Structure 1
Amino acid sequence: MNRRRLLIAALLAATTAAAPIPALAQSPDPASSYPNQLVRIVVPFSAGSMTDILARALAEKLTAKWKQQVIVENRSGIAGTANVAKAPADGHTIMLTSNGHAVISAMNRNLNFDPLNDFVGVTQVATMPSILVVPPDSPTRTLKDLVAAAKAKPGALNYSSAGLGSATNIAAELLRQTARFEIVHVPYKGMPDAQTAIMRSDAALGFTFFNVGGDLIQAGKMRAVAVTGATRMPQLPDVPTFAEAGLPDFAYDAWFGILMPAATPKPIVAKIAQDIAEAVQTPGMKERFASQGVELVSSSPATFDGVVRGDAERYAKLYPKNQGN
């Protein structure tokens, strides 16, 4: 009897040893079923802004591609950014923002989220040259004139911006730092008021973008002094670049890009980056935005993440007084 039991045990052991060990079940690629519900593109700016316009154009293209509804939600300011930081990291909440995101840490010390570590860069979407402008009756004709006037009377000239931490504020502060002069910042609530201040000579200078200021420049209500970027803008062929105007070290273009909660699976991040890259190349998209002075671009998640972090480090030096607020 004992011999029979031993024989059965030996046979079972041999059978078990010979049987192939089943492979561990592989977890499905999360990107293969993405998206499986409505996708939100949160824009931390008001409706009608360039960020909002870009988001709505992308939403239309992605809705068609994904066969899922993609909607745009305008949640202005830090509240909108915080909403995305705390959203489920499943890829169904996306944020389209501008390079103003890179100064949030420098501008605000007491945040309930981390503007860098709570997000992952997905892709850059667009870049837009900035235009330095002065009042139409300003004695300043060139960039050299402006720099000389600012250095002759430190703190006597003021500049208008669309608000503290806005793209136009960042541009002017970088100009101040690069040219090494002192000017006074007068923040307004949005571009219309900031441009009105320049047209009325309430501000000696400021920055704008072609999509919001081009008509005013061409109508003679503001005078363009210089444009950022490596080449002149086709819409303003007579306006020199900063390098041509004598300040080659000044470099600043506003960017727009996609960020998502940091824990979003990498395959989903990569899929969204690829699908957006295809969307911005579709017929009519590039031409539509080029007429507004906007260049549509794309980049890898790693590249764009590096841009955001690099700008955060660069811009932190512009706002040392605000970091204790």
Structure 2
Amino acid sequence: MDRRDCIRWGGAALVAPLLSGKPALAQPKYPTGTIRLVVPYAPGGVVDAVARHWAERMKAPLGTVIIENQGGGGGVIGASAVAHARLDGYTLLFGDTSCQIIAPYLMLHPPYDPTKDFAPVSMIATSSTAIVVHPRVPARTLGEFVDYARQNQAILSYASAGTGTVTHLAGELFKQLTHTPEILHVPYRGAGPGLIDLIAGAVPMMTPNVTSQVLNFHRSGDLRILAVCAPARLKAAPDIAAAVETLPGLVVELTCGVLAPAGTPQPIIDQISEVTAAVIRRPDFDEALQAAGLEARADASPAAAQAFLAAERQRLIPIIEAAGLQPQ
């Protein structure tokens, strides 16, 4: 066979699958096995609760999703494990504002670049922070508390769930917007201990995430939620004012959702996003989130997730810098 025959037969071999209507390479079916969902926090928190609601509802469209809690480092340890995982869609991260924006920014040498090492799939739910006070504080509205804080900032303190958390940023943004730099930040190891001290009167103010527990304490009179740091009032508590009604710009929320390692095939990302969007539209999912004090996000697409994280990064980093927090 001469050179021209080789070219002729080689070309025919390449064209044959096209003429037969069969693809040369078929996209492998996904998934064919168990999906590992890494939650970068200990069990029982806000992110873990949403992850479990999502994983439970993925059984029908995706099969078994096993949750693996890898806490530590503000979410960095678990997120790092996913950032360096195989690009096959079988290891996913249920990440949030902290591990994607705050925690890596506050590290001199973070083990991943959140803008390059992850492919956002769907941002699913948002947990707002709130301005909460002990019942003895002489303020029943946020406006009254702003006046009180300005007059008493030298003796006023607020509790957060820890340095570098969204609850910390909520308190610092309150200080920035009200020009009360002398208010003392008291970081706790989680929201639970801070709430205990707030109810006991050891600290007069806290900026926790709104959860069913916090709402119950508010309704029982153990503490007083003056406003939620959200763009609008929450569906779960429409009687509580949004902070922006008094202090425009006081919005600090924890948003969580599914991310994959960068380089994961786009068809897999699109498939997960599509079934997630269907779940978010289900009334039972929305009701479960509302019962926990959370709100479902309207757009679960990868493009919306990417745009949200980029915009939130630009919004939160100036707050971090103004608070004097430095990478360590």
Structure 2 length-normalised TM = 0.86
Query: Pairwise mapping of residues 86-235 of structure 1 onto structure 2 (< 5 A)?
Result: 86-101=84-99, 102-182=101-181, 183-208=183-208, 209-235=210-236
1:41 aligned partner: 37
Counterpart CA distance in 1 for 2:152 and 2:135 is: 21
1:20 to 1:45, Cα distance in 2 relative to 1, 3 A: same
User: Aligned-residue CA RMSD in angstroms?
Assistant: 2.6
1:5 aligned partner: none
Percentage of matched positions with identical amino acids: 28
1:286 aligned partner: 286
Specify which of 81, 84, 105 is matched with residue 83 of structure 1. 81
- Structure number with greater CO (CA < 8 Å, separation at least 6) is 1
Deviations 1:101-121 (A, max 9, x none): 210222211222223221111
Residue range with higher mean Cα deviation, 165-174 or 271-280: 165-174
1:222 to 1:272, Cα distance in 2 relative to 1, 3 A: same
1:50 to 1:155, Cα distance in 2 relative to 1, 3 A: same
Deviations 1:112-169 (A, max 9, x none): 2223221111111112333211001112222223222333344532111111222322
Counterpart CA distance in 2 for 1:52 and 1:13 is: 63
Counterpart CA distance in 2 for 1:284 and 1:141 is: 34
User: Contact conserved, 2:235 with 2:290, CA < 8 A, in 1?
Assistant: no
Q: Does 1:16 align with 2:8?
A: yes
Letter in 2 for 1:92: Y
Counterpart CA distance in 2 for 1:258 and 1:103 is: 17
Secondary structure of the 2:244 match is coil
Counterpart CA distance in 1 for 2:2 and 2:187 is: 85
- C-alpha displacement of 1:15: 10
Counterpart CA distance in 2 for 1:188 and 1:256 is: 22
Could you say which structure has the larger radius of gyration?
1
Decide which structure has greater helix share. Answer: 2
Name stretches of at least 5 consecutive residues in structure 1 with no aligned partner: 1-7
- C-alpha displacement of 1:215: 1.0
Name stretches of at least 5 consecutive residues in structure 2 with no aligned partner: none
1:88 to 1:137, Cα distance in 2 relative to 1, 3 A: same
Secondary structure of the 2:243 match is coil
Specify which of 38, 59, 62 is matched with residue 63 of structure 1. 59
**Runs of 4 or more above 4 Å deviation:** 12-15
1:83 to 1:9, Cα distance in 2 relative to 1, 3 A: closer
Counterpart CA distance in 2 for 1:240 and 1:112 is: 40
User: Contact conserved, 1:126 with 1:295, CA < 8 A, in 2?
Assistant: yes
Counterpart CA distance in 2 for 1:112 and 1:238 is: 43
- C-alpha displacement of 1:264: 1.0
1:248 to 1:322, Cα distance in 2 relative to 1, 3 A: closer
Specify which of 305, 311, 327 is matched with residue 324 of structure 1. 327
